[in-house]
Amino acid sequence: MNDLIQQTAKYLVAARHVVALTGAGISVESGIPPFRGEGGLWEKYDPMEFAHINSFMKNPEKVWKIFMGDMKKVLLAAKPNDAHLGLARLEQLGILKTVITQNVDGLHQMAGNTDVIEFHGNFAWLRCLQCDKRFKTVEVDLSEAPPKCTCGGIFRPECVFFGEMIPPIALTRSQEESSQCDVMLVVGTSALVQPAAFMPVLAQQSGATVIEINPEPTPLTGRISKFLVAGKAGQIMNEILSEVNSLIQSQKQ
Ligand code: NAD
Ligand code: ZN
C-alpha cells in the first residue's frame, strides 16, 4: 500500500470539513479530453482561441463546430468514473462537504454529490443570445452549427468562456469553502486557470492540508500542496476509499 494513500485516508477520516477542487483530469477516465496534458484538446486547438468569448462572439459557427466535433458526443454521453463515484461516497460517509469543479460536464451531480459549485457553468444548458431563453442541451437539435433557437437567435452554452466572469455566487461560495475547510483534495487540475487555481492557495493560507491527485506535478506541487498522490484519479480514489473504509471499521471496533 502506497504510504501517501494511507496518509490521505488518515487526513480525510480525521477532518472536520473536507472540500474537493476538481478539473478536467477527473473526467479523463470518462472519455472527456482535458485541455492540457496528454491527449488534450490543446494539441489540436488553442483553447485560448476557441474557448474565448471574443472568438465565440466573432465566429460562433467555428466554435460550435469544434464543440460538436470533439466535445458534444463525449460531454453528452459520458458517465461518472470511479473518481467521481469515490467523491460521492466520501460525501455519503459524512467526510466530504462540497465539490468545487471547473468542469462543465455535470458528472459530479450524476455520481451523487449534492453540493457542487460549478465554477465554469455547465454544458447541460444552452441560452439564446437573442431572446435569453434557456433550453436543455439534450433537447436542442445540434446537427447544425451554430444551433439556433425558435426565435432565430444563436445558442451559447451556459459555460464560462475564457474572458468571462466567474458567476459571482460560485466565486463567493468557493472562497468561503476554501477558507473554511481543513482538508482540500485537488483532483485532476493543472492549476493554471485563474481564479480557480487560487482556491488551494486560499485553503493552505487558512491552515488546511492540501492534497493533490494527478499523474503529473503542477505549480501547486511542493509549494502549496502537502503532497501529490501521483496517478490516475479513478484508481487512486478507489485505493483511498478502501483505506478510508478500513480506518472507519477499525475505529468502530
Ligand atoms: P487542464 O486540462 O488544464 O488539466 C488537466 C489536468 O488533469 C492535468 O494536470 C493532467 O495532468 C491531469 N490529468 C490527466 N489525466 C488525469 C487522470 N486520469 N486523473 C487525474 N488527473 C489527470 O484542466 P483544468 O485545470 O480543469 O483547466 C481546464 C479548463 O477547461 C477548466 O477550467 C474547464 O472549465 C475546462 N474543461 C472542462 C472539461 C470537462 O468539463 N470535463 C474538459 C476540458 C476542459
Ligand atoms: Zn431565442
Q: Which residue's C-alpha comes closest to atom 4 of ligand 1?
A: 190
Determine the average pLDDT of the residues in 12-24. Answer: 97
Residue 123 in contact with residue 101, Cβ under 8 Å? no
State pLDDT tens for residues 73-100.
677 789 999 999 999 999 999 999 999 9
Could you confirm whether 120 is annotated as catalytic?
A: yes
**Cα distance from N-terminal residue to C-terminal residue, the chain:** 22
Q: Given ligand 1 and candidates 21, 22, 28, 162, which is best to mutate, with the most ligand atoms within 8 Å of its CB?
A: 28
Specify whether the CB–CB gap between 39 and 232 falls below 8 A.
Answer: no
Band of pLDDT at residue 70, cut at 50, 70 and 90? low
Q: Tell me which residues have their CB closer than 6 angstroms to ligand 1.
A: 23-29, 32, 34-37, 40, 102-105, 120, 188-190, 192-193, 214-216, 218, 232-233
Active-site residue, from 52, 84, 108, 120: 120
Q: Which ligand is located closest to the Cα atom of residue 134?
A: 2
Cα–Cα distance between 19 and 181 in angstroms, integer? 6
- Do residues 5 and 13 touch, judged by C-beta distance below 8 A? no
Q: What are phi and psi of 90, to 5 degrees?
A: -65, -35
The whole-angstrom separation of Cα 216 and Cα 213 is: 9
Bigger pLDDT: 38 or 220? 220
Please tell me the predicted confidence (pLDDT) of residue 32: 87
Residue 1 has pLDDT above 60, yes or no: no
Q: Which of the ligands is closest to the CA of residue 156? A: 2
Atom of ligand 1 lying closest to residue 218 CA: 9
Closest listed ligand to the CA of 131: 2
Residue 243 reports pLDDT greater than 60: yes
Task: Name the residue with cell 481543513.
Answer: 182
Apex 105 CA angle, 104 and 111, nearest 5: 130
Task: Assess whether pLDDT exceeds 70 at residue 41.
Answer: no
So what's the pLDDT on residue 34? Answer: 81
As given in the structure block, the three cell numbers for residue 132 are 435569453
pLDDT at 62 over 90: no
Average pLDDT estimate for 212-219:
97
Q: What is the pLDDT of residues 45-58, one digit of tens each?
A: 777 777 899 999 99
**Residue at 165: amino acid letter:** M
Task: Specify the pTM.
Answer: 0.93
How confident is the model at residue 136, as a pLDDT?
Answer: 92
**Distance between Cα 27 and ligand 1 center (Å):** 7
